Structure 1
């Protein structure tokens, strides 16, 4: 199923559920600015439509099993290309978006559940009117992952 057909609130609900499938409807409602009942109804609808196909336990290291890629994006207008950034901010799987110096304009990291979703996101980005080209690098292995601020886990 293509998540692009969901509205932004549904996508935010899915994003929050991917982070924590046990989040309460009340907490989820406060995060997406809806009532508990509205959140429950949206979750029920997304289950019926197949966007949510069950709840499962994933054992092992958090984040393991996800597919990630870096997109290097070239924009038509480096200065006034905020429309591209606005779309990237609306995609829940985008975990990093930096404006960088050099040949390309944006460095974007995407973490998704499948290669198909990575491709869907790439197609969405490549089709944006403000994007002239993209280069994609799939992550093969991750060896260093720190929390924001460079905090290191206790040894």
Structure 2
């Protein structure tokens, strides 16, 4: 998939949508100060490009009673990623998992209602045959909640391009 270049209107629209996810096209057009047809075409383009990944509500598992959260790293047997994914998918407490580089192969985020449930979840993860070793770290508090708009705003089409490093170095001479 080709990355989509976002402009100021896209960022304003995504910001308005993030702040008022239930707003309709007309309300979004008022907030962003563009025509309703512009909102509709931009939302369609952003959805087709995958920038807007879904239209589901953001769920807070801690508010739903799953306050004990941890990140778990896994070292797995070589070539066993598909099997580990299958095993992790079968554990509802595993909220997300990523293949990684570095000292471990998989990074998971898990949530449970209690520490005993967390311990049982960790034991379930370790029962996956390809898992050679796991390490977990507890989440004590959320310092920065998941966010995307600050990052997306850095790549807007109106952001002036940075001068290549060699030009900066030459100008200093």
TM-score, normalization by structure 1: 0.52
Verify the 8 A CA contact 2:69 2:112 in the aligned structure 1: yes
Query: Which residue in the other structure is 1:129 paired with?
Result: 129
Q: CA RMSD in A?
A: 2.0
Verify the 8 A CA contact 2:73 2:106 in the aligned structure 1: yes
Aligned length: 89
Query: Which residue in the other structure is 2:48 paired with?
Result: none
Q: Unmatched 5+ residue regions in structure 1?
A: 1-60
Query: Aligned equivalents of 2:94 and 2:149: distance in 1?
Result: 22
Q: Match of 1:87, SS?
A: helix
CA 1:86–1:102 in 2, change beyond 3 Å: closer, same or farther?
Answer: same
Query: Aligned equivalents of 2:130 and 2:81: distance in 1?
Result: 7
Q: Match of 2:62, SS?
A: coil
TM-score, normalization by structure 2: 0.47
Query: Which residue in the other structure is 1:74 paired with?
Result: 75
Verify the 8 A CA contact 2:70 2:138 in the aligned structure 1: yes
1:31-84, CA deviations, whole angstroms, 9 ceiling, x for partnerless residues? xxxxxxxxxxxxxxxxxxxxxxxxxxxxxx86246100111000012x332111
**1:84 is aligned to 2:84:** yes
Query: Aligned equivalents of 1:106 and 1:118: distance in 2?
Result: 18
Deviation of the 1:151 alpha carbon:
4.5
Query: Which residue in the other structure is 2:98 paired with?
Result: 98
1:108-127, CA deviations, whole angstroms, 9 ceiling, x for partnerless residues? 00011111111111001112
Higher relative contact order (CA 8 A, sep 6+): 2
Higher radius of gyration, 1 or 2: 2
Q: Unmatched 5+ residue regions in structure 2?
A: 1-59, 151-173
Query: Which residue in the other structure is 1:63 paired with?
Result: 62
